């Protein structure tokens, strides 16, 4: 530091400013979008998922926001919250529980769960799952079909079938409700009428894919995809040296990666720094001119 004291004031200030700001902006995409857990089942949540109340919304894909309920991670899909029991980043898949169905007992599925047509475009529910169709409280039904005995209510009977194995009948006309539910492939085995509760308890799987070409280009360059206000049109790429418009190789960073900067403080700091540089410049050249006017005796 002794050598720095002999620098002209303007150079010393520039050195100090760049040192401080360079250290503060040196954040990698990983530190900009940290992982977290809800403290319950030990599942670590990381990019492209993000905590909807503790992280910036732009850290991850739109629609991948996770909330914590009773120390369990939850994701909102198809107008309902689903508990997450596992996330596999290598296979890009997650396992979800059916809402309000945690035990392998005899109870009705309250409403349709995620179907192929209702899942967001980023998720795929067709791999590793089967669809069950439930017909509850039917007043008329084909004879000799096995029914769910624990759900019988007087003369009303309930039935469950795998997709593609439902007998030809006007079920919607004679049954009070018809509900469809996804279950994982490995959970469906044996007698379905007796084991549907166990199959529902196993939950179901979803796989996800990358976003559009801009996000793919960003991730291929080592960055993370960001979206202001969760909108696709407000895309930017989070890189080690700041935000870029397309990927980490494009020309120049848009902004440095910092958590919610206070723009008033930034403006005031810029004014103070600019004034200091001007004052130091004037002082330096004034002293230099005075030193040149003196002649040795």
> Quick check: 262 pLDDT over 50?
no
Given a contact cutoff of 8 angstroms between Cβ atoms, the answer to whether 236 and 254 are in contact is yes
Q: Nearest-CA neighbor of 138 among 130, 128, 129, 148?
A: 148
d(CA 237, CA 254): 9
As a whole number, the mean pLDDT across the chain is 75
Which of the pair, 108 or 259, is modelled with greater confidence?
108
pLDDT value of position 274? 53
**Interior/surface letters 35-51, b for 16+ CB within 10 angstroms, e for the rest:** ebebeeeebebbbbbbb
Q: What global pTM score does this model have?
A: 0.67
Q: Which residue has the higher pLDDT, 89 or 284?
A: 89
Q: Supply the pLDDT for residue 104.
A: 54
Asked, as a colleague might, if the bond just before 110 is cis with ω within 30 of 0, I would say no
Q: What is the pLDDT of residues 170-201, one digit of tens each?
A: 999 999 999 999 999 988 888 899 889 888 88
Alpha-carbon distances of 272 from 16, 46, 207, rounded to whole Å: 14, 39, 52
Q: Residue 53: what pLDDT?
A: 78
Cβ neighbors of 84 (< 8 A, separation 6 or more) are 43, 66, 72, 73, 74, 75, 94, 95, 96, 97
Mean pLDDT of 154-169: 94
Question: Using the 8-state DSSP alphabet, how is residue 186 labeled?
Answer: G
For 30-39, 130-139, 201-210, 277-286, which range has the lowest pLDDT when averaged over its residues? 277-286
Residue 168 has pLDDT above 80, yes or no: yes
Angle 34-40-44 (CA atoms, 0-180°, nearest 5)? 30
Question: 86 forms bridges with which residues in the sheet?
Answer: 95
Residues 6+ apart with CB under 8 A from 103: 197, 201
Over 80: is that where the pLDDT of 236 sits? Answer: yes
């Amino acid at each position: 530091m002794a050598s720095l004291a002999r620098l002209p004031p303007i150079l010393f200030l520039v050195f100090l400013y760049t040192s401080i700001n360079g250290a503060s902006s040196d954040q990698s995409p990983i530190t900009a979008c940290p992982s977290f857990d809800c403290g319950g089942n030990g599942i670590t949540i990381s990019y492209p998922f993000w905590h909807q109340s503790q992280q910036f919304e732009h850290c991850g894909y739109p629609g991948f926001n996770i909330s914590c309920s009773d120390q369990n991670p939850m994701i909102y899909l198809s107008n309902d919250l689903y508990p997450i029991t596992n996330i596999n980043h290598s296979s890009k898949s997650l396992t979800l529980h059916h809402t309000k169905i945690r035990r392998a007992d005899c109870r009705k599925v309250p409403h349709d769960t995620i179907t192929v047509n209702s899942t967001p475009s980023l998720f795929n529910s067709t791999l590793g799952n089967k669809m069950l169709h439930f017909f509850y409280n039917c007043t008329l039904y084909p004879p000799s079909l096995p029914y769910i005995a624990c759900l019988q209510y007087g003369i009303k009977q309930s039935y469950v079938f795998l997709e593609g194995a439902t007998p030809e009948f006007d079920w919607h006309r004679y049954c009070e409700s018809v509900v469809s539910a996804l279950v994982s492939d490995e959970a469906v085995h044996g007698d379905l009428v007796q084991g549907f509760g166990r199959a529902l308890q196993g939950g179901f799987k979803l796989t996800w894919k990358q976003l559009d070409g801009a996000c793919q280009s960003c991730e291929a360059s080592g960055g993370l995809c960001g979206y202001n206000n969760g909108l696709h049109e407000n895309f930017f790429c989070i890189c080690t040296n700041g935000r870029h418009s397309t990927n980490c190789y494009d020309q120049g960073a848009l902004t440095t990666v910092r958590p919610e900067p206070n723009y008033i403080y930034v403006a005031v700091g810029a004014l103070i720094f600019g004034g200091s540089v001007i004052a130091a410049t004037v002082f330096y050249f004034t002293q230099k001119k005075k030193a040149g006017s003196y002649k040795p005796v």
